[in-house]
Structure 1
Amino acid sequence: MAKPNRADLLSRAYHDPKNYPYGFSRSGDFSISEAKALSQYGSLINALLSGSLQPENDDDASFIAVASGQKEPANVTEKAWVKYMARIGRPRTGSIYGKRTNVDDADDDDSSIDDDDDLPLADDD
């Protein structure tokens, strides 16, 4: 496989079908500008962080520094990437009721108790 270059990565839109199957803009997690920045620069940032592309300029080095936590995000793209990483790394919430289903006890289904005996009867005299 050929080594990717910067121009190819910038022309390729970034998608994350596992975490955002309908895209970044339809998720509700990102603003319009953040979704555009992730789509445009996500492939480049991902290649820089994985090591398949070496940083060529100060912007590339800044992406790496922000992603590693050495620097605060300064522009929309860096802020969007930090937000994206926080969203995909968050723990999944479980049900407050747990996974176990409720099982009725045998004592609750005792048919020998007749509730009709407790009702008052009306006199028709």
Structure 2
Amino acid sequence: MAKLSRESLFQRVFSDPKNYPYGFSRSGDFSISESRALSQYGCLIAALIDGQIEPECDEDNSLLASAKGEKDPSTVAEKAWYKYDKRIHRPKLGNIYGSRPSPQSDDDDMSEDSEVVIELDD
């Protein structure tokens, strides 16, 4: 496997087909400048977070510190990554109708232990 470098990561376009199958710009979550920044800097930030490469300059250190939450995001790329990270890690919303009951066979409805009481009015 080729060694990753900062320049090679800038050549790659960052995408997330699981969470954004049609791309960042078509999602409606990001502005045009944010989607461009994510596409350009996303691979670099992901590699810095995963420890695949070491920070080489002050910009890398700033990106890493912002991504880890050690400092507030200040550049467009840092703000876009912060927004992206919050979007993909947001909690799943519940359903107002509750959960679906598990499918049961008709035989399970009348088990031997259940007692049926029928009252008749005289």
- Relative to the length of structure 2, the TM-score reads 0.80
Give unpaired runs (5+ residues) of structure 1. Answer: 102-125
Give unpaired runs (5+ residues) of structure 2. Answer: 102-122
Greater shift after overlay, 78-87 or 63-72? 63-72
The answer as to 2:2 corresponding to 1:5 is no
Residue by residue over 1:32-51, the C-alpha shift from the partner in whole angstroms, topping out at 9 and shown as x without a partner, is 00000000110011001111
State how 1:27-106 maps to structure 2 within 5 Å.
27-100=27-100
Greater C-alpha Rg:
1
Deviation at 1:93, TM superposition (A): 1.3
Contact kept in structure 2, 1:3 and 1:52, CA below 8 Å: no
Q: Runs in 1 of length 4+ with deviation above 3 angstroms? A: none
Separation in 2 of the partners of 1:56 and 1:13? 20
Structure 2 partner of 1:24: 24
Deviation at 1:14, TM superposition (A): 0.2
Residue by residue over 1:60-90, the C-alpha shift from the partner in whole angstroms, topping out at 9 and shown as x without a partner, is 0001111111111111100000000000000
- RMSD of aligned Cα (Å): 0.9
Separation in 2 of the partners of 1:100 and 1:5? 49
Deviation at 1:94, TM superposition (A): 2.4
Identity of aligned residues (%): 61
- Relative to the length of structure 1, the TM-score reads 0.78
- The number of aligned residues is 101
Separation in 2 of the partners of 1:64 and 1:8? 18
Structure 2 partner of 1:117: none
